[in-house]
Structures are given as structure tokens and as C-alpha cells.
Amino acid sequence: MKHFLTLCGMQFLFYAILASTSSNTGISEDPEFVEQIENITVPAGRNVKLACTVKNLGTFKVAWMHFEQSAILTVHSHVITRNPRISVTHDKHRTWFLHISNVQEEDRGRYMCQINTVTAKTQFGYLHVVVPPNIDDSLSSSDVIVREAANVTLTCHASGSPTPSIKWKRDDGSKIAINKSFSVSEWEGEVLEMTRISRLDMGAYLCIASNSVPPTVSKRIKVSVDFPPMLWIPHQLVGAPLGYNVTLECHTEAHPTSLNYWTRDDGHMIHDNNKYHTQSRVGSPAYKTHMQLTIYKTEESDYGTYKCVAKNPHSLPDGTIRLYTSAPPSTSPAPTTSELPQTLDPQLEEKSDNTIPSHKNSHREEKGRKGTKYTSNLNEIDKSEQKFQDSEPRGTHYEWPEQKSNNGCSRQGFSLEKHIIILLIMIGSFSHLCRR
């Protein structure tokens, strides 16, 4: 009944309009509603009609009103509102249809169908307007490029009715690392915050907005994690007899993709010709590369130092491999470690005691600090696996993923052995690799 109070003004208007058109001639039975107005849920943009069915209308009139807006929409077959999307039709004065075209969110609410009997008869129907989710690009993150170990915050804002919920997933289905100790396959909320992001977190993230209204929408946000090139040399000392072919190898990780090449002592880039063959294979993930340099028919002048170089905008480390003369294999099977050559370069012997030779490089102070750091890193790692990085930010040691790459590398080692030769891993010359 409260509606009648609030609609007092409307009713006054209603009757004022009716006064000119209605003349109650006193028909025996009062008009009545036959059935309830159906509640309707409709996506915005559609057309909709609400039906109000009456009997014994006689000379009475039916009006449609919007309750929350206190607006008279139609009276009898006249449209009162100025809203051009509203119209009214009837089926022999029995069913009165209120038509709303191109429904908008503001059209939602309670619709009243009223008969102008002495005590007005009223019934209500609800119109629910739903809106599929829509991601607002201007309030959402776009692709980001960050340095490794930075914190990353992605946001995604969606409108819609009912209010959409947001969840995040990685495009490749892997888990989202919220922080070092907490990973989830799905994260809920407008904001996704990842602390100390690592290269493993690089990739596309999907923000998915859904409410009950199809279609669900998503936005793909690419997260690029930049880091300085990192080199990993499985065998830093490689022996090859004169006249044999030998392949040196080096693994790199870098983002953005580094320019990778080999040099000799003189720093000149080695190009493919009938002496050398170089190969770079992109690994998985794509920031990994496996570099190989094959030297055909080794001659005296081929022995010495080789460097694999990886350059990206973040730094410029290089890695050194020393090729020395070794005894040819005595028999066809690959030599065993007991047959290691005794002809090691004395300089190398000297270095094998794990001291870090000082550098001609200008950044002496920094070098010293780094040297220490690398030494301790070396103590931590398995001897078949050497890892280092030019300038690891904020002091943590990056953990090499334990899957494919290691196996891949040791396999490489074996194939090298099979082909030739004698491999010697010497940690001593490690610091060569740390040059900026």
C-alpha cells in the first residue's frame, strides 16, 4: 500500500489524463487481473514486452508505470513517457503489452500495471536487466616488461551486471607464483600481485571476467621478464688431438634474446667457413639457447682460448673455453678418465686450485666482491653443473630448473666424448666467464 502513497502524484496525473477519456457507465462486474505479470530477465540491448492481462475492463483504462522512477509510461493505448523506446499494444483490451525496445540497464525495476477502478487495482512485474562482462582496457593492465626479481602487479577491471568476478590463469596452464612459497593455478580478484618475479614466470596471463551472463570475456596480458645473459659451459676444458674435429658448447639464458656468437682471444667473431661451424638452437623456454662451435681438423693454431658471448641490453658476459692438445685416443673406444692426458698446460694446472685470477678489467672492486660470490656459488653446486651470471640482482642465486636442460647437457657431454676425445671440467678457469 505504501506504493500508493509514493505514487500519489502519479495517480493524480493518471486520473487527470483519464478524466478526458473515461466515462464509467457502471458495468455490472469490476475489472480484475487474470494472471500475474511475468518477471523477466533480459540482456541489455534486447527488446522485451511485459504483459498485463485483465478481464471485464469495460470502459476502464489500463496504465503502465515504472515504480522506482515514479513514471507513468502508458495509459490505455497512449504513450505518456517521452522515452522513445516505450510503446504499448493490446489484444482486444484484454492483454496489455508494454514494449521496451533496446533495453538499457536503467530500465530495470518494478513495473506496475494499474486499472483505474475507484480503488485502483495494481499488480507488479520485475524486469531484470543483465549485462555481459566487459573488460575495461583503460583500467586494466597491458603487456608489461619487468626486470627479474621485481614485484609485478596486474589489474583487470570489468563492468557488467551482475558485477563480474575476475580470475587469473596462465595461458599455458602452469601455476601462478604469487611469491616464493605460494603458487596457485588460479587467482581470484581484480589485482594479481607477484613478488620477486622470476624468468619462470614469464609468459601470458589471462584475466577472465564472468558473471552469469554469457559470453565470458578474457584479456591476455604478456609479462616479459628481462635479465642479463647467463652462460653455462658444461665443459670448460676440452681436449682434442691434432687433426680431429671438436665441438665446443655453451648454454645461454637471456631475455630479451641475446646476440650469441663465438670469439677467439682477439675478440673477433668466428664465422662459419670450412674451419668452423657454429650452431645456435633455441631451447624451451625460448630464453634458453644451446650454442655449439665445431672446429674441423684441429691444427696447432686452433689451440687456445675460445669464448662464447651472449649480449643483450642488460649486460655483456662471456665464457671461455680452453682447447688444448691431447693425446690421440689409443684405441677406438672412447678414452676413460684414467687416460686423461698428462700434458696439461702448466698455466691451467695452476688455475685448477680454485683461485680466481684477477682481471685486467677496470671494475676491480666490484670484481673482487663478485669473485667471492661466485666462489661460494661454486661450492653450492653440483660439480657437473656450473652456473653463473653476470650480475644477479639482489643477491639470490637463480635455481636452474632441474628438468630437461641438465639431462640434455650431460647427454651432450657424452656425445662429445663418443666422438673424440677427452673432456675435462675445470672449475678453476670459471672466473673468465664473469667478465663484463
| Residues of this chain that bind ligand NAG (CB under 6 A) | 36, 38-39, 126, 150-151, 178-182, 195, 244-245, 296
Per the omega criterion (within 30 degrees of 0), is the bond before 215 cis? Answer: yes
Contact present, 291 and 260 (Cβ < 8 Å): yes
* Distance separating alpha carbons of residues 87 and 49, to the nearest angstrom: 9
* Distance separating alpha carbons of residues 230 and 412, to the nearest angstrom: 19
Contact present, 194 and 178 (Cβ < 8 Å): yes
Cβ closer to ligand NAG: 15 or 244?
Answer: 244
* Distance separating alpha carbons of residues 103 and 46, to the nearest angstrom: 5
Contact present, 290 and 284 (Cβ < 8 Å): no
Contact present, 248 and 293 (Cβ < 8 Å): yes
Query: 333 is written with which cell numbers?
Result: 673406444
φ, ψ for residue 167 (rounded to 5)? -135, 160
Cβ closer to ligand NAG: 149 or 233?
Answer: 149
Smallest separation, CB 35 to ligand NAG (Å): 8
φ, ψ for residue 98 (rounded to 5)? -95, 120
Name residues whose C-beta falls within 8 Å of residue 417's C-beta, 6 or more positions apart in sequence: 334, 423
Any idea what the Cα angle at residue 127 is, between residues 121 and 128, rounded to 5°? 150
Smallest separation, CB 122 to ligand NAG (Å): 14
Contact present, 281 and 352 (Cβ < 8 Å): no
